[in-house]
Chains A and B, each alone.
Chain A
């Protein structure tokens, strides 16, 4: 079974600085999807960024980028120029390839709470 591990329960960053959130996963598949979701105090789950495993290039969305290391099964999120609005819980998630029949569901890590200091 796939597992997703986020070993840091909390992190803190100074406003305007850069922070990296770590995530590792375990799978026997070679073609899959990885995601970072943000959950602010409103509780809404917001997709931040996604990475297709078959793509070697790391995904980037504005101030958010990932460091995808497929061989190491590592998928970290870098937030540049941190803003107060980035304070939230962040979840790493895995989605199996469609041919496994398991692509209808996500496996989540336990999450990390990010605080941003003004």
Chain B
């Protein structure tokens, strides 16, 4: 299986443009998340989902929208790009529910630059 895939790998936008970062997983994972990575800040949670049709905000949700219509896909939408959204974006997924540990698998990341 392909694991967690993200497209595109690189993207340059102008301020005010909108776009969607794609994320897909083929492991039948319930949980999916979006993080952004900025220098000196680690990874910060943007939005997450515990199953199809269920999403919630993370630590830094402003300026981003998500939806989860299927188990496999979890796209991240930038409504009106701002230079502050220049970052590397990671999608992650894992099995959910129950008390057992479940490893989070990460996609390869998308480097986004907003001019």
Which A residues are within 8 Å of any B CB, using their own CB? 4, 6, 9, 33, 42-45, 47, 50, 52, 91, 93, 95, 97-99, 103-111
Contact = CB atoms under 8 A, between A and B. Distances in A.
A44 B42 contact: no
Contact of A45 (B40, B97, B106): B106
Given A44-B108, A50-B101, A98-B97, A106 B43 contact: yes
A43 B58 CA distance: 22
Nearest to A93: B43
Nearest to B59: A107
A108 B42 contact: yes
A16 B112 CA distance: 37
A9 B40 contact: yes
Interface residues of B, number: 29
Closest 5 CB pairs of A and B: A45-B106, A108-B42, A104-B31, A110-B42, A108-B43
A97 B92 CA distance: 18
Interface of B: 31, 33, 35, 40-45, 48-50, 58, 88, 90, 92, 94, 96-99, 101-104, 106, 108-109, 111
A98 B99 contact: yes
A43 B101 contact: no
Contact of A105 (B33, B108, B109): B33
A37 B33 CA distance: 16
15 contacts: A9-B40, A43-B108, A44-B108, A50-B103, A98-B99, A99-B99, A103-B102, A104-B31, A104-B94, A106-B33, A106-B45, A106-B92, A108-B35, A108-B44, A110-B42
